[in-house]
Amino acid sequence: MAKKSSKSIKNPIPVTLLSGFLGSGKTTLLEHILTKDHGLKIAVIINDMSQLNIDADLVQNHRVSQKEEKLVQLQNGCICCTLRGDLLEELVALAKDDAFEYIVIESTGISEPMQVAETFTTEFTNMYLDNQEGITKEDEKILKEIKDLGGLEKVAKLDTCVTVIDGKNFYHNLETTEFLVDRFGSTGQNEEERTICDLMVDQIEFADVIIVNKIDLVNKKQKKKIFKTIKSLNPVAKVYRTNYSRVDVKDVVGTGLFDFEKASSSAGWLQSLHEMTKREAFGNKLTPKPETEEYGINNFVYKSRRPFHPERLYKLIRDKFVVIELSGLADENNEGEGEGEDEEEEESEEEEEEEEEIDEDEIDGDEENYSDPSEEQIIKNKKHSKFGPVLRSKGFFWLASRHIIRGEWSSAGPMLTMRGGIPWFAVAGKEFYPPEAQALIDRDMQGRFGDRRNEIVFIGLSIDVEAITKELDSCLLNDEEYKVYEKLTKEKNLFKVEKALQNEFVDGFELWIAFDEPDAPEEEPKVAAPEIHNGHVHKPKAVSSKS
């Protein structure tokens, strides 16, 4: 493509980001855009990880039918969370070319739209413009050109986020226990840690426009249920039911619907949290009934200011969800350990096995209670449990054995991801945050335990709020246990507290903090505050018991 470096850009060109799994109908939608006589001048950027590139070939077959449009084909992997030089170069060239009014970017089937959308924010662009270490000379050249033009926001603006859903396989994808690597293989983008249902929910929650495709293959009852489910996950998106992805092209380009802050908070679980906050502050009389409740969808926020007993919580969830545990900070702290430690671990494991053999006769039925159920059994158990109607849940939790770091809870379908998140603000402090954020932090502080609490949003169809609340309440520390907890947490050294709590409360969850030394330091340890970046939080690099 010829460059016109001397030519300035009058207005940023509107961009539509197209997401969805392979086979959902994205390519059919592109085919529709490129062949429909809509009178619009649209450039399409394909970004598919398929080596065969069948999708791109199909679109190329229709280039002659719409001569005003041009196809730019990129074959170097995912654009997720990176400002790729070749993509930037094409955006600049297309924006300078008066022949095009709109750009449609097809992301890969495994891309998270929020991360792709971040590449269009001013903050993200500035980060790359100011930190150019490790980039090629070609990328450096295009970054300089973008900077001279006033930043990426002067070149292209994200206008619409579109997600295409396969209606026929909607509930299969929502209820599957598959990881991305099982279906799509590995491309080095952490497919081993991400699940099909999680990604589909992410793509739904962040969309401005949702196209439910292949709707003729779904019966009337299922159509209604799918619509209800999507509305529960994203109450504000426009939803279109289609066959062969046939929609009015003006419904997916140039809509002006995208707003990063709005998109970041449009997820059903966040809407539910905001709604609950308004109801608590003003009462039901001053807050209108949410539209989702009219569709038979009910949401609630479980809150408590008492920690969960880790063993009881694990027993509750282990046979109703496929629990994915990410150890987080503990793994980061243990990187680079010597080979000799592996031998010690093996010896330790052998000793533990011997102890288990000795104690086997003393265990009465415990082995059966802790045997791992199959994924099929878990799905069946969830369906018939109080958690059966739950489609999505997200929030954070407080374990009695974890005093420094809060737990992050996120479920989609039968998959529940639990991991260590950022330190509680009672530990990390608030001085690194802007005044408006500090005010929100202050609101969450109560008593000697500060902002430590459980706060989990549940979304679903006809959820029994009282029953789930009762189930979760049964996992909280009882009065006697809570007195012990209060006593053990009087120690000033946080790592000594953490060790004491883990000795007191049986805890089978993955470690969130690695204790590097046999004795914690006498002085109060410092825990790094998390970084805020475009509406989400990056955890500190490591939290260690070393001073």
What would the mean pLDDT of 403-410 be, rounded to a whole number? 94
pLDDT of residue 302: 94
**Arithmetic mean of pLDDT over the chain:** 75
Q: Do 441 and 430 form a contact (C-beta atoms < 8 A)?
A: yes
Residue with tokens 């330790």: 348
pLDDT of residue 115: 72
Q: 466: which 2 tokens?
A: 């009282």
- DSSP characters over 114-163: HHHHHTTSHHHHHHHHH--TT--HHHHHHHHHHHHHT-HHHHEEEEEEEE
Give the model confidence (pLDDT) of 44-89 as tens digits. 887 543 433 434 554 443 322 232 344 444 433 333 334 455 677 7
The secondary structure element, H or E, covering residue 294 is helix 291-294
What pTM did the predictor assign?
Answer: 0.72
Beta-carbon contacts of residue 173 (< 8 Å; ≥ 6 apart): 21, 166, 196, 197, 200
User: What three-state secondary structure class fits 476?
Assistant: strand
Q: 495: how many CB neighbours lie within 10 A of its CB?
A: 25
Q: How confident is the model at residue 467 (pLDDT cuts 50, 70, 90)?
A: very high
User: Does the pLDDT value for residue 484 go beyond 90?
Assistant: yes
What would the mean pLDDT of 281-307 be, rounded to a whole number? 63
What would the mean pLDDT of 181-197 be, rounded to a whole number? 73
Q: How confident is the model at residue 384 (pLDDT cuts 50, 70, 90)?
A: very high
Give the model confidence (pLDDT) of 91-123 as tens digits. 888 887 777 889 888 876 666 777 777 777 666
Higher pLDDT, 544 or 437: 437
User: What distance in Å separates the CA atoms of residue 281 and residue 358, rounded to the nearest whole number?
Assistant: 58
pLDDT of residue 123: 66
Structural domains of the chain, ranges and CATH numbers in brackets: 13-266 (3.40.50.300), 297-334+374-538 (3.30.1220.10)
Higher pLDDT, 194 or 2: 194
pLDDT of residue 280: 45
Q: How confident is the model at residue 298 (pLDDT cuts 50, 70, 90)?
A: confident
What would the mean pLDDT of 524-535 be, rounded to a whole number? 45
The secondary structure element, H or E, covering residue 203 is helix 196-205
Picking from 30-39, 164-173, 227-236, 504-513, which range would have the lowest pLDDT averaged per residue? 30-39
Q: Report CA-CA distances (Å) from 510 to 8, 326, 380, 525.
A: 54, 7, 26, 22
User: What distance in Å separates the CA atoms of residue 350 and residue 206, rounded to the nearest whole number?
Assistant: 48
pLDDT of residue 107: 79
pLDDT of residue 246: 94
Closest residue by Cα to residue 100 from 125, 127, 68, 74? 68
Handedness of CA 367, 372, 374, 379 (dihedral sign): positive
Q: 275: how many CB neighbours lie within 10 A of its CB?
A: 21
User: What distance in Å separates the CA atoms of residue 298 and residue 392, rounded to the nearest whole number?
Assistant: 11
Q: Do 512 and 329 form a contact (C-beta atoms < 8 A)?
A: yes
- DSSP characters over 441-500: HHHH--GGGTT--EEEEEEEES--HHHHHHHHHTTB--HHHHHHHHHHTT-S-HHHHHHH
Q: How confident is the model at residue 462 (pLDDT cuts 50, 70, 90)?
A: confident
Handedness of CA 153, 155, 156, 157 (dihedral sign): positive
User: Does the pLDDT value for residue 547 go beyond 60?
Assistant: no
Give the model confidence (pLDDT) of 327-350 as tens digits. 655 444 444 444 444 444 444 555
- Sort strands 156-166 and 13-19 into parallel, antiparallel or unpaired: parallel
pLDDT of residue 269: 43
Q: Percent of the chain scored above 90 by pLDDT?
A: 36
User: Does the pLDDT value for residue 488 go beyond 80?
Assistant: yes
Picking from 6-15, 436-445, 463-472, which range would have the lowest pLDDT averaged per residue? 6-15
What would the mean pLDDT of 422-444 be, rounded to a whole number? 87
User: What distance in Å separates the CA atoms of residue 67 and residue 296, rounded to the nearest whole number?
Assistant: 48
Closest residue by Cα to residue 160 from 87, 104, 110? 104
Picking from 126-130, 148-152, 259-263, 535-539, which range would have the lowest pLDDT averaged per residue? 535-539
User: What distance in Å separates the CA atoms of residue 257 and residue 350, rounded to the nearest whole number?
Assistant: 60
Q: 220: how many CB neighbours lie within 10 A of its CB?
A: 7
Handedness of CA 24, 30, 31, 32 (dihedral sign): positive
Give the model confidence (pLDDT) of 135-157 as tens digits. 667 777 777 787 777 777 788 88
Q: 506: which 2 tokens?
A: 């049986």
pLDDT of residue 23: 86
User: Does the pLDDT value for residue 544 go beyond 80?
Assistant: no
pLDDT of residue 111: 67
Higher pLDDT, 11 or 238: 238
210: β partners? 163, 239
User: Does the pLDDT value for residue 423 go beyond 70?
Assistant: yes
User: What three-state secondary structure class fits 411?
Assistant: strand
User: What distance in Å separates the CA atoms of residue 307 and residue 500, rounded to the nearest whole number?
Assistant: 15
User: What distance in Å separates the CA atoms of residue 240 and residue 203, rounded to the nearest whole number?
Assistant: 15
User: Does the pLDDT value for residue 247 go beyond 50?
Assistant: yes
User: What distance in Å separates the CA atoms of residue 381 and residue 232, rounded to the nearest whole number?
Assistant: 23
pLDDT of residue 96: 79
